[in-house]
Amino acid sequence: MRMPSQAIKPTSLGMTGLRNNDTWTDGLPICKLSGVGMSANQMYREDGTPCSEHEYEDRSIHFCLDHENGTYLYGVFDGHDGAKAAYFASQRMPAELSFEQLTGKTSSEEVKEVFRDAFLAVENAFLESIDPKIAERTHILDKIPDGMSQFEAAQKFPDIVNRLQVLDQEIRGGTTAVVALIHGGVLYVGNVGDSRAKFGNHELTRCIGNYFMKGGYKEFDIFSSATGEPVIAEPHITSMPIDDSCSFLLLMSDGLYKSYQDSTGSEQVNKEIAQMAVEQFVEQPTLTSVAQTVVDKVVRLHHDNYLTKQRNVTSRDDISLIIHSRLLPGARGHRLDLTEGVSNTVDDRHDTNTTSTESSDLQNPSLTQFSLDEDGRIQPYVDFDQYYQAIEEARAAGLIADSQLHLYK
């Protein structure tokens, strides 16, 4: 009998021999050339009040693996059906790249092979970790007669069905992974997930974990005739040399770019999010504050769109954003030549979750042609006086209520 999997419930994760919230990666040095911004998922009540739909399922890493040789590792892992797979991948991926696996690897092809093997090793290790649960589930399924409906099984074998539901929750989860490795003066980006291709209720053709779209896919009638797994863990890998023209790198979960796209309808999401980051380089003191400010702006934009009903937005996913840059935010007395020149790292479609920006290709005059004031800030170049005057006139005429003024300012 084939039993449908159930929605997973939030679960806490622990590691034997470690104190609560401690992990072995706590011993790895954090990369000081990076910052992280994040926000938990939100749905909106009728009055616009936000609340979380589920536990926070994103995980991220930003480590300096070898300062002397300039080896850095960054990653964003967007879990689905729970955070278990994202947590596992965020712990295992550094282990697959930080114990001399890269030693002596000088050619691009050698490094790519190590990088690819790391993704597959994480996938295999995660599936091995749930093997006992899969075996137990298979054994229990054999106790239910073929052809028996789910309702009949629940009536006749309630304990068995309840146990199957628990097992389904424990083995169903998976995660996307966008990982950037800087090694030997070259940037390597590996990506599994968020290709925006439909498979049932999944938008992924690549991910780590998700047993029911891997070894268990035959349980679904829609895939019964398939000759291979509908979802794979083989990463899409690209590389590019790093030189003085490379300014910064963004890694983001789909919660960021989809929330922005849902709110604006933009077809150039990566470029516009990159520009938002650039604008914060002269406003914020740290890379973390740059990343968090970008996240906060997108969160506010999404919420405002719900309140004003300008676009049909109802909820948004978890958001994670990593920014790596050799340029220090808030630097005084220099001009940032960073704006719209963006090359996208693509999984199965453009606008996935990696953006790298090269200053040599950036020609947007909106930032590069404006001088900075004595505090290093871009001087005002738009006069909003007429806009605010129009708002006051509309309020005086009764077209805008006092309680709505915050939406226009």
Tens of pLDDT along 308-347? 887 778 899 999 999 999 777 765 433 344 333 334 443 4
Judged by average pLDDT, the poorest of 107-121, 190-204, 340-354, 388-402 is 340-354
Give me the pLDDT at residue 400, please.
60
Q: Are 318 and 39 in contact (CB under 8 A)?
A: yes
Percentage of residues of the chain with pLDDT beyond 70: 73
Give the residue carrying structure tokens 């424990």.
170
- Condensed to tens digits (0 to 9), the pLDDT of residues 272-300 reads 999 999 999 888 999 999 999 999 999 99
Q: Which one has a higher pLDDT value, 402 or 348?
A: 402
Specify the amino acid at residue 6. Answer: Q
Q: What angle do CA 228, 234, 237 make, to 5 degrees?
A: 145
Among 200-214, 289-303, 337-351, 369-383, top mean pLDDT goes to 289-303
Report which listed range, 195-199, 240-244, 316-320, is most confident. Answer: 316-320
Mean pLDDT of 69-94: 94
What residue ranges do the domains of the chain occupy? 31-129+173-368, 384-409
Which of 92-96, 130-134, 167-171, 344-348 shows the lowest per-residue confidence on average (mean pLDDT)? 344-348
* Phi and psi, residue 127, nearest 5°: -65, -35
Asked whether the predicted pLDDT for residue 108 surpasses 60, the reply is yes
3-state secondary structure of 44: strand
Is a pLDDT exceeding 50 seen at residue 62? Answer: yes
Structure tokens at 38: 């994040």
Residue 116's SS3 state is helix
DSSP H or E segment with residue 35: strand 34-39
User: What is the C-alpha to C-alpha distance for residues 91 and 99, in angstroms, rounded to an integer?
Assistant: 13
Q: Most confidently modeled of 46-50, 199-203, 291-295, 301-305?
A: 291-295
Which residues sit opposite 30 in a β-bridge? 63
Mean pLDDT for 108-128 is: 95
Span of 22-26, 47-51, 161-165 with lowest mean pLDDT: 22-26
Is the model's pLDDT at 163 over the cut of 70?
A: yes
Could you report the per-residue pLDDT of 135-145, keeping only the tens digit for each? 999 999 999 99
What is the sign of the dihedral through the CA atoms of 25, 320, 120 and 189? negative
Confidence tier at 122 by pLDDT (50, 70, 90):
very high
User: Can you identify the CATH homologous superfamily of domain 31-129+173-368?
Assistant: PPM-type phosphatase domain (3.60.40.10)
pLDDT at residue number 284: 92
Tokens of 157: 């074998």
